[in-house]
Structure formats: structure tokens, C-alpha cells
Structure 1
Amino acid sequence: MLAELSVKNFAIIEELTISFEKGLTVLTGETGAGKSIIIDSISLLVGGRGSAEFVRFGEDKSELEGLFLLEEDHPAFIACRKFGIDASDGMIILRRDIYQSGKSVCRINGKLVTISILRELGRLLLDIHGQHDNQMLMEEENHLYVLDEFAGKPLKEALKEYQSGYEKYTALRKKLSELSENEQELAHRLDLIQFQLDEIESANLTPGEDQQLSGEKEKISNFEQIFEGVQNAYHALRNEQGGLDWVGMASSQLEGISDINDQLKTLSENISNSYYLLEESTFQMRNLLDEMEYDPARLDTIEARLNEIKQLKRKYGSTIEEIQSYSAKIEEEIDSIENRDSRLLALQSELESLSKDIVLEAKNVSDIRKKSAKKLAKQIHKELKELYMEKTVFETEFTLKSANDEAQPKVNGVPVQLSKYGYDDIRFLLSTNTGEPLKSLSKVASGGELSRIMLAMKRILSNHQGVTSIIFDEVDTGVSGRVAQAIAEKIQKVSIGSQVLCITHLPQVAAMADTHLFISKKSRAGRTTTKVAPLSHDEKIAEIGRMIAGVEVTDLTKQHAKELLHQANHVKTVG
């Protein structure tokens, strides 16, 4: 649940901290007081589209911060681990700063994240539902998503199986398409890569050859300097009266007195060891000098070979290993082109077999959807009946994504266009009056009816989405009377399993609140700012009375407000 929200320099809000409780929290107040601004701030906090227009006039940035308290097994903690965010003690803190420049800085538990990560985590924490969401129901491309959400785990598992095969299917179609390209282009391609392969193979490259040749070149290029240095070192040690003779003399002198004490013995051993090491080194120098031979022709050969390797690297890869890898790749491509006809037949056969499998997987997905659609219709009818739309008929229409290409997979003899989500095209149909034909939602539902249909879906889907907090932003627009009471009861039922924050103008909904927050605005030092205050029982009566009567609240209005509260308590008690 959203436990606390802090807002600073956001629109007309100067600074505000709000604590939220479980159950149903209602936000009411005069139009323009800032109710929707609070919801906007929450929307931006969980990854909504930001803008510099939200920054309070005269300030550099807006600051938004929210504390969420969650169960330890909540999916949000899995997402945190995925993104390397430390999350413990059942808490997640989101923060977002929006600057005048339009830039946003986002943090989760103090770690800087991108807006996309904030949005991905935010959708696991909050579901914000406003009047504009009715448009989602009007757009038929969203209906498949809604149905799949309702279908839940069985559908997700079937869809995962299907998508695994679909990826192989699309990759195979792409390979087949590439192999079926224009023959002239393939002939040109074959000539090019055959030339490249011949060039690489004729070079007869050996892994590590370039490093070995570079080292040898370095030796030959510095032959005189190396030879002179080794020779001088050898003579300094081995010539008459050279260094080795003096060390040998020192070793003999110390050896004669080494038995006198331990210190002299140690010195004698050290000098003796040094003598043998130096002697061994002179043997190595002599061998090196005997082996060294200056060969200018070899230097030319090495430089020519290194230049050849350099040219190949420029064309085919930065290392010999990469060149050889490219060689293997084009060799396989040459084989595919030269054996194109047989490859085409093999791929077509493989694609045909895979098409049958993928169609079966898509049918399984479709069958689960159809079963879920019947369950969804049954539950929506039940919910709508409680919202006084008992004559309404709701159905899901299924059609195949048809394709004009006879080469496409077929379902019942009809070619279909497969997509990532199968071959179903669906739309929700509605009839609100007895005897009227089923039509698309956009053509038959009024604003008030759409609000009720949306609320019915939200009541159903809230059990499937795992979201702990739901926000309703004036979803009760366009209804009154007994329908308003039914909507109030429906929202209250949703709040039993989830924290619900609701902006409303209906007294029936306000009466259902477990917590009632009153939003007001005031002027101070020539600036307008928003204030939020929880209402006591008597203040709730006065506010509900204002919502019923408007400006003047009479004793009769207060009595009506008390009756609404009493009725709401009865509904919540009975369940």
C-alpha cells in the first residue's frame, strides 16, 4: 500500500505530506482545490509522463516521494532484485525530481534509475484509473490485453509456449526469404564471398602468428644493440681480471674463514651462490651470442607477412581469430547458396512442420481465451446486475487475423496472420437493452454506462493483477441516485482486497470511506497553495452534507448525511 506521499513545488502545491491508510480513502473538495493534482503527482511518481509545466511557478524543480509498504513476497521485490536495487524490511521508496528544463531524476530506494525502470516497478505498485481510462475500453486493440489479464496464469503459460515456437517460426521464415532472394543478387553475393574466402584461405593464417612475427621483427631490428650489449656484459664478467674472477677470489677468501663464526659462514655461502649464478649467466650469454645471426632478408619477409595480415584485418576482423571466424561464416553461406535448391526444400519442409506445431499452440491459446471470455462475461453480468444494468448483455467476439497469402499457416483451411499473441482478433460487444443487437462498446455505451462497465471490470480484474493500491479518479461521473449507491458499494468491495484512493463528487461514495481527506486551497503572500486534512466524524457529516446540498447545509441535509453514513456502515458490516 501507499503509506505516505510527499509533494513539494508541484503545480499549486507548495509543500504537502499525506499519510494514507488501508481500505477506502476518499478525497473530496471544491472544484480546482487540487484533488486531481494530487493524483497527477502520484501518477508521475510511478513513471507517468513528466513536464516542466508541473513545476511550481518561480521554483527550480518539483520533488515527489512515496513510501510503499508491501508483503515480502510482492512482485515489486522481484523487480528490485532484477535491477540490482536493495529492498528490504517490506518497504520501497520512490522519488522523482522534475526540473524546469523538463529533465527528470528518478530514484528507487536511493538508487538512480531510468524512467522506464521506474515505470515498470510503478505498475506493480499502483493502478491509476480515471475517466480517460474509459477510452481504453473504447479502443478495440486494448480488449485482447484486458481478456489476457483476466485469463491469468493458464493463458500466460500457454502464451509463453506459443511465443517460444513463434520466435523459431519467424526466424525460419526470414531465413527462407533471404534464401529465396533474386538469383542475380545471389550470384553477385556468391562471387564476392568466394573471392573473400579464397583470399583468406590463401593467406594460411595461424592463430598468434602476428604477435610472434612482431616479436621476431623487434629482435632483428635491434640486432646490433642487443648483440653489443650481451657481448659487453659477457666480456665484463669473463675477460681476464673480469668481474667473475673477482667474485671467485672473494668467495675463496671467505671460504677460508667461514668456520670462525656463523655470520662469516652465511656471507661465504651467499658469495659462493652468487658466483655460480653469474657463471651460469655467462654460459647463457655465450650460447646467445653463438646463436645470434643478422639476416636482413628475414626482416623483409616478416614485414611483408605482417603487412599482408594487416590488410586482411582491415577487411575481415581486428584479430586473426576474427578473420578465421568470418571465413567459417562465409564458407557456410557459400554452401547454402551453392546448395540453394536443396536448402530451400529442406527449409520449406521444416517450416511446414513448424507451422503445424505453432498453429496448434495458437489454437491452445485461443481456446483458453474463449473459455476465459465466457467466465468474464458471466462475472461482468453479475457485476452489472448489481450496478442496475441487469438487461445488459456482454460478449467477446473472436475473429481470425486473416492473411491474403496462401503460403501462410491455415486454420480450418483459411490462411491466418500469426502475431506474437496468436491469431485472435477480439472485441467486446454490448447490448444495453432487451432486443437490441450486440454492438461495439463505443457505439452503444453512454458515459455513465461506460463508468459502470469499467468499474465492473476493475472489480473483477483487481483479483488478477496483484496490485496493492488502486486509484479511482472521478470514475463515478455521469451517475446518480441508486446507481451512485451501487457504485459506492462496488468501490468499497474493491477496497477490501486492495488499498483504494478515490476522488469523488458523490456523497454515497464519500460515506463509504474508511478515511476521508478534504482538499482545500488558500492564498498566502499572493500565492495559492493546496492543503489536505483528514476529517473527523462531525466534519465528515458536514462535508457529505455540502456534497448533497451544495452551498447551504441545513439540519435536514446533515440528517441525510448521517443516514448515508449509517447505511454505509451497515453495508460494510454486512459485507
Structure 2
Amino acid sequence: MLTELSIQDFAIIDKITITFNEGLTVLTGETGAGKSIIIDAVQLLAGGRGSVEYVRHGAKKAEMEGLFTLEADNRQIYETADQYGIDLQDEMVVLHRTITSGGKSICRVNGKLVTLAILKEFGKHLIDVHSQHETQSLLNPDNHIQLLDLYDEKQITEAKKAYTRLYEELTALRKRYSELSENEQEISHRLDLLNFQQHEIEQANLLPNEDDQLEEERSQLANFEHIYNGLQDAYSAIYGEQRGLEWLNIANQALQNSKEYDTFISKKAEEMSNHYFLIEELMYELRNYADTLEYDPGRLNDIESRLNEISRLKKKYGPTVNDILEYLGKIEEEIEQITDKDSHLSNLETQIDDTYQDAYLEAKQLHDLREKAAQALTQNIHQELKDLYLEKTSFSVLFNTKEKQGERTKLHHNGFDDVQFQIATNPGEPLKPLHKVASGGELSRIMLALKEIFARHQGITSVIFDEVDTGVSGRVAQAIAEKIQQISSQSQVLCITHLPQVAAMADTHKRIQKYAENHRSSTIVAELSKDEKINELGRMITGTKLTDTAKSHATELLELACNYKKNSG
């Protein structure tokens, strides 16, 4: 959930830090106090489109930072963090965004600089903002199939994995077939290029690891004098009259002469003897190796010439000789395929047909699971709509793709299904796409019904409602309040509202006020006590002066909300 939000120099906000709790947090205040500005800041923090207009007048930059605490089973956010190499410690995520007065946007996740696209990836798993006038994921038909799959995630995910593997294999085969089926002129040019490359690499007569071996030999020849002198100096220091080995022999003999008188000397005499013979053998090896060394300037020139040739090939075919040889193998395989194109096309056609049939069967199983899930989802949504006094509203999941007799069904990354949620708000009216139906109060209730169902499936940390209750009153307002409270039992909910029924349901109530200081407007946020909450609800009820009657109604409203939460919990 969103635990803490800090905003500085953003629109009319000078500097505020807001702490949030679990459950339902309600933000209220007069129009223009800055309620929606706070939601705008959260949206930007989640990767929304920024603008220099958000930077407070006279400031160099606007800054937003949000601290989110995570559930250990929030698989999506942890997978996203692993994908982008971001360490999530203590089950916390800190999103930070800066917008400069020059229009530059700087984004960070847990202190690491990221692109806006990456910030948005994190934001979509943490925050879901729903406002009256903004197109949301639930309204976008492109997202409906993913939502349906989430509804019965356990079964559909496994079937989708099996299908995806076959679909990717089918796509790769079709791509290869298309490449081999290009026009003759392009194939001829490709074959000429491949033959040239094959001839050039084969003429070089490369050997595996040849570049590494030549580099080592070149280093030896280029440093011959240093190597030879080092061997000679080491040999001379140890072997010869009055040199190291002779003195070691004297020491060895001294210990040998005394070993029979002392067990310690006896043990050390044996060790000394072993060391003496090891050093003597080492000297012989150094001498023999020095005798094999021979400086050949002609060989050094040959090596330089060979390495230059290999370097030229590396620029064209790979960073190492082994990579070049591997590329040669691929060339030979492609030349063989092009030369015997007709046979390969025939084999590919067979593979494509077989893979398509397997993929189609998996897509059909996926379709059957989705239809079953759609039936359950439809029943669930109808019940939710009934709770919101939309019992006459019809909901349906439309599968647009139809299998045609005698024609091969077109497959895509989701199988052969194209899913769209449809609604009819009045009896006798035809079902229409969700984004084309009601507006205002009806749309708010429809969206709340969908949110209630999908909140627990989407794994969103915080759901934000920005005045979604506009245009409703009476029993509908109470139903909306109850539905928002139900959603808050699944996810943290932040809600900007003008409805006292919704505000009364709050676990935490914050009032937003605007004040003027030094001829500038600023916004402050204060958490309300119980008495302050009653006064605020009273003002929301009357819309004008706070009266004793309004306070009485507000107290009763709070008691009703408290009883509802106890009974529903």
C-alpha cells in the first residue's frame, strides 16, 4: 500500500507529506483546495505524462516521492524488480519523480535512475487511479481479455503457457518460410553474399582458438629478452660454485650429520633433503626451457601479419576466431537451405501445419476455459450491479472471433479469442461496448462493480477514486459508499469525494484546505479527529453553514457506517 507521499513545489502545493493507512482513506475539502492536484501528483509518480505547468511558479523543479509497502506474495512487482535489476529490501518500494522547469523528467525506483517507461511498469502494479473523466484500463477493450484471464487465473495461466510456447514456435517457422519465399532476385543476392563470405573465411584456414594462441606467442617473442634474462638470472643465482644450491647442500649435509642425535633434526633433515632435490630439479627445468628458447624476428612478423588478417575478419564476422567459425557453420547451413529451397519449403510447410494444429488445440482449450470463466464473471457482476441498484442492467462477455467452416482460424498471442465487455443499462436495449454506454452516475456504479471484482485479481496495491461518485445521491450514494468500503477490504483505497455517505465510511478522514500567505496560495492536509469528522460531514450535508441538525445527521451517518463495517467485516 501507499504508506507515505511527499510533494514539493507542485502546482499550488508548497511542501506537504501525507501518511496513509490501510483500508479506506477519504480526502475532502472545498472545490479548488487541491484535492485533485494530489491525485495528479500520484499519477505522475506512477509514470503519467508530465508537464512544466505542474512546477510551482518561481520554483526550479517539482518533486514527488511515494513509499509503498508490499505483500510478500506480490509476484508481479518482484518480477518487475528482477527484470530491471532493482533490489527490493524490507518489502518496500520508493518511487521518485522530478519535473524541472525546463521540462526534464527524472525518475528513480529505490534510488536507482530509471526511464519513464520503467517507472510506469512499477506504477501499474502499485497504483490504479480511476476518475470520472479519464479512460481507465477497465474501459479499454484491449485489456478485457487479460482481466477475464485474471478472473480464473489458476487454470487459464497454465493453458496459456502451453499455447504461447506453440504460438511462438509457429511464428518462428512462418518467419523462416517467408524469408525463404522472398523473390528470386533477393535470394540470388543473398546467395552471392553468403558464397563470398564463406570463401573469405575458408581461405583464411582458421583454427579453433588460433587468435588466443597467436597472442600468447607474440607476447613471448616481443618480450624475449626479458624472459631469457629472467631465466638466466634465476639459474645463475641458484646453480654454480658459491651459489644458492651449493649453500643449501651444505645446510642439508649439516642436518644429515646431526639427525641421529635428535628427532626434531631428523625430521627437518628429511624436509631439507626433499626441498634441495626439488630446487635442483627446478634448476634443470629452467635451464632446459632456456635452451629451447630461440628469438625469430621473422616469426614475429608472420604472427603480426596473421593477427592483422584475423582482426580484419573479426570486424566482419565475430569477436573471436571461434565466433567466426560458428558463423561459417551458419552460412553453410543457409547456403544449403537456399540451394535446396524447394525441399526446405516443403518441410517447413509440413512443420507449420503440424505446429498450427497443436497450437489450435491449445487455443481451443483456452477458449473453453475462458467461456466458462465468462459465465461465472457475468453472474458475479450482475450481483454486484444489483447491490448498486442496477438490477435491470445486463452484462455480457462478447467473444468476437468466430470459427468459420472450411477456413483456418487465425491465431494470435491470446489464442483466437477477442474479448469485449458489453453492457445494456435498460431493459430492451441492445448490449453495447462498455466504453460506449452510460456516463455519470451509471458509469460510476458500473465501474465500481467491476473494480470490486477485479481488485483482488489484479494485485494492485492502492486503488484511487477521484470523484467517481459525481451525479448520484440518496440510496445510490449509500450503495456506492458500501461498495467502495468493500473494495478497501481487498486493497488500500484513497477516495476524493463530495458525498457524506462515502466520507462516513472512511477509516481515515483527511481534510484538504487552501490558504494564502505572502500573496501566494498553498495547500495543507490535516487528519480529522472524530469531532472534526462530524463537523466536516455536517458541512458536506448542508453545503453551507454548519447547524446542530446537520451535526446530528452527521453523527447518525457515522454510526450507521460503523455498524455496516462491523456487520460486513
Q: Same fold (TM over 0.5)?
A: yes
- Per-residue CA deviation, residues 209-249 of structure 1 (Å, 9 max, x unaligned), is 455556767888999x899989x99xx99xxxxx967869x
- In the other structure, the counterpart of 1:562 is 555
Task: From 461, 466, 470, give the equivalent of 1:477.
Answer: 470
1:37-48 map, 5 Å: 37-48=37-48
Shift in Å, 1:448:
1.9
Cα shift at 1:301: 6.2
Q: CA–CA distance in 2 between the matches of 1:359 and 1:221?
A: 65
Output the CA distance in 1 between the equivalents of 2:487 and 2:355.
Answer: 45
The answer on whether the counterparts of 1:392 and 1:434 sit within 8 Å (CA) in structure 2 is yes
| In structure 1, C-alpha distance between the alignment counterparts of 2:185 and 2:80, rounded to whole Å | 53
Per the alignment, do residues 299 and 545 of structure 1 end up closer, same or farther by CA in structure 2, a change over 3 Å counting? closer
TM-score (norm 1): 0.82
Give distance in 1, aligned partners of 2:295 and 2:74.
Answer: 75
Which residues of 2 match residues 76-475 of structure 1 at below 5 A? 78-79=78-79, 82=82, 83-88=85-90, 90-101=91-102, 102-108=104-110, 110-134=111-135, 136-210=137-211, 305=306, 308-400=309-401, 412-475=405-468
Cα deviation, residue 391, structure 1: 1.1
Question: Which digits, 9 at most, give the CA deviation of each residue in 1:547-574, with x for residues without a partner?
Answer: 2222233333333333333332332233
Unaligned residue ranges in structure 2 (runs of 5+)? 259-267
C-alpha separation in 1, matches of 2:79 and 2:556:
46
Q: Which runs of 5+ in 1 are unaligned?
A: 238-242, 402-409
Q: Separation in 2 of the partners of 1:180 and 1:562?
A: 78
Q: How far has the Cα of 1:161 moved from its partner?
A: 1.8
Residue identity matched to 1:386: D
Deviations 1:439-492 (A, max 9, x none): 233444232211111010001111212234321111111222221121111112
Which residue of the partner structure matches residue 265 of structure 2?
none
Secondary structure of residue in 2 paired with 1:400: coil
Give the equivalent residue in structure 2 for 1:24: 24
* Structure with max Cα Rg: 1
Check 1:213–1:354 CA distance in 2 against 1; reply closer, same or farther (3 A cut).
closer
TM score, norm. by length of structure 2: 0.83
Partner of 1:33, secondary structure, is coil
Q: 1:406 is matched with which residue?
A: none
Match of 2:263 in 1: none
Q: Following the alignment from structure 2 to structure 1, what is the Cα–Cα distance between the partners of residues 221 and 547?
A: 109
User: Which residue identity does 1:536 align to in structure 2?
Assistant: S
How much does 1:52 deviate? Answer: 3.4
Distance 1:461 1:48 in 2: 22
2:504: which partner in 1?
511
* Alpha-carbon distance in 2 for matches of 1:490, 1:53: 35
Residues 1:469 and 1:339: Cα distance change in structure 2 (over 3 Å)? same
- Alignment partners' CA distance in 2, 1:546 and 1:221: 91
Displacement of 1:330 after TM fit?
Answer: 0.5
For the Cα contact (< 8 Å) 2:409–2:416, is it kept in 1? yes
Q: Cα 1:484–1:133, aligned 2, differ >3 Å: closer, same or farther?
A: same
Q: How far 1:344 moved relative to its partner?
A: 1.0
Give the Cα–Cα distance (whole angstroms) in 1 for the partners of residues 435 and 137 of structure 2.
Answer: 10
**1:122 counterpart letter in structure 2:** G
User: SS of the residue aligned with 2:489?
Assistant: helix
Whole-angstrom CA distance in 2 between matches of 1:29 and 1:125 = 26
Task: State the percentage of identical aligned residues.
Answer: 51
Tell whether the 8 Å contact from 1:148 to 1:369 is kept in structure 2 after alignment: yes
Structure 2 SS opposite 1:174: helix
Secondary structure, in 3 states, of the residue corresponding to 2:502?
A: helix
Alignment partners' CA distance in 2, 1:203 and 1:120: 49
State how far apart, in whole Å, the 1-side matches of 2:187 and 2:333 are: 14
Q: 1:514 to 1:206 in 2, by over 3 A?
A: closer
Give the Cα separation in 2 of the matches to 1:345 and 1:530: 72
Contact 1:359 1:411 (8 Å CA) reproduced: no
SS of 2:380's partner is: helix
Cα 1:283–1:434 change in 2 (3 A) is closer
**Does the aligned pair in 2 maintain the 1:387–1:483 contact within 8 Å?**
yes
Q: Supply the distance in 2 between the matched residues of 1:219 and 1:540 (Cα, whole angstroms).
A: 86
Q: Aligned residue pairs: how many? A: 556
Local SS of the residue matching 2:78? helix
- Distance in 2 (alpha carbons) for counterparts of 1:123 and 1:346: 44
